[in-house]
Each structure stands twice: as C-alpha cells, then as structure tokens.
Amino acid sequence: MTTQELTEQIFKKKSFLCVGLDADLDKMPTYLLSEKNPVFSFNKAIIDATHEFCVAYKPNIAFYEALGVDGWKALKKTIEYLHHEYPEIYTIADAKRGDIGNTSRMYAKAFFEDLGFDSITVAPYMGKDSVEPFLEFTNKHTILLALTSNEGAFDFQTLKTDDEELYKKVIKTSQKWNNSENLMYVVGATKAEYLAEIRKIIPENFLLVPGVGAQGGNLEEVCKYGMTKNVGLLVNSSRKIIYASDSSNFAEIAGAKAEAMQRQMATELEKL
C-alpha cells in the first residue's frame, strides 16, 4: 500500500488508529484456549470488531514467536485473513529487526514477501547497510526506531552526539539512504514534546506512535506536535483495546474502545 493510499484511508475512515495484535494467551478469555487455534480465533474476533475504526493492524512478532511453530501459523493465518477480508487495511510487522546486509535481506523476504506485510519496524543501531535491504522493497515501508516509548529510550537515544541527540542523528542520517522516501519512524507518544523538534527534520514522513493507552501517552498532544496536513500519524494502541475485557463479549468491548479512539481522532482531524 502506498503512502497516498494509506492517507486516503485515514481521511475516509476519519481514523489514524493502528490496533496492536499482541497475542498473549495469558490475557485472552480462557474459553478461547480450548479452540484449535486460539490466537487466530482471538485475532479474527478483534479484527472483525475493530476494523471499521482503524486503518492498520500491527502484530507484535514476539508474541507469536513465543508460541513457536503454532505462533507462526497463527501469524500467517491472521495476515492472510486481513489480506482477504480487509485488503484496505495497512499491516505492520512489529519486529524491530536489523542485521548485516545478507541477513536483513532474509528478514525483508520473510515479512514482505512470504507474509506480505506492508511494513516492518527496524532497529537502526547497525546503520545503513542493515536497513537498506528493507528499503529495496520500494512498494513497502520501513519503519525505523527513532525515539521509543519506553524509559530505556533515555539510555542511548537521547545521548548528545557530536552536535545533536542520537535519535535526531538517526533520522537525519537515514534520510540520506537509498529509497528513504519509504521510511517511517517510531516515536513514542510518551515523548510527545519531542515531536515538534522531529517535525523540523522530517516535516512529511509518517510516524508510528505507540504508547497511547497502557503506557500513558496523550493523543491530543501527539496530534498538536506531530500531525501534518496529510496527517502523517499512525497512533497505535494494543493492550488498552484488545485486552479491555476478558469476558465472552471481549470483541464487542474492544470494538467500543477502538470506536472511542476513532472519535477522538475524528475530532483531531477536524482541526486540520
């Protein structure tokens, strides 16, 4: 999906919500566990109940890997279901990969070709040749970690390098890489006050913003500092939507939570 198509979906649905599909067997309604494929059953119910209110889904790959072969099967089934039932929805593999060139190429193949994701999150520590194999897929997006939502972001990302903080250096340097027009960046909602600075460097690129919800970020602030005239934001919520309830009507409640966020987003979009 191109950036333009994603933007069109955002304006059409009045939503820039991304729902995180963090499939955790310990948090799902227990009655699902006796099903043949509990993770897929859970995801399907969540997707069916929330798809009207969001433009993207983001399975966090760790949760699937923790389930081994069954987890990979559930991931594949989930992405196939999305492609088949809701092809207008943008998909993000939250994988935070990054390795030397020939290895990053393998990860790109895994997530872009075999699973058919529209995008993947990538860690920048290993530099240009670890990221460019992802950027070679010019019909896909590569979402580089810039300033993450967690406390540990202050360990290295905000260190002052020669002339500016590391996360700024990451953004500026990556803008010079091949096919950098396909870059998006992860910036945590918990760091909303940094968004104004970031927008000076990348006025147009999409940002994937986790941390609204369970981690305490504020949607209004994110929009105030981060929104562009083409929106330029995908705001993710995982636990606060998908685990809002563990009762038999969990999907309905997740849908209501997603709808509430969509309404807030519609209000923000009216300000454009």
Residues serving a catalytic function are 96
234, 207 in Cβ contact below 8 A? yes
Within 52-111, the residues that bind its own copies by CB under 8 A are 60, 62-63, 65-69, 72-73, 76, 94, 96-101, 103-104, 106-107, 109-111
Q: Is 175 in the site for its own copies (CB under 8 A)?
A: no
Closest by alpha carbon to 135, among 224, 55, 205, 220?
205
201, 164 in Cβ contact below 8 A? no
Q: Is 137 in the site for its own copies (CB under 8 A)?
A: no
Q: Is 26 in the site for its own copies (CB under 8 A)?
A: no
* Minimum distance from residue 119 beta carbon to its own copies (Å): 16
Report the C-alpha gap between 211 and 225 in whole angstroms. Answer: 15
Segment interacting with its own copies, rule: CB under 8 A, options 32-40, 51-59, 159-167, 193-201: 159-167
Report the C-alpha gap between 188 and 194 in whole angstroms. Answer: 9
182, 140 in Cβ contact below 8 A? yes
Q: Is 25 in the site for its own copies (CB under 8 A)?
A: no
Sign of CA pseudo-dihedral 139, 12, 207, 244: negative
Q: Which spans of this chain sit near its own copies (rule: CB under 8 A)?
A: 22, 24, 60, 62-63, 65-69, 72-73, 76, 94, 96-101, 103-104, 106-107, 109-111, 114-115, 123-131, 145, 148-157, 159-162, 166, 169-170, 173, 215
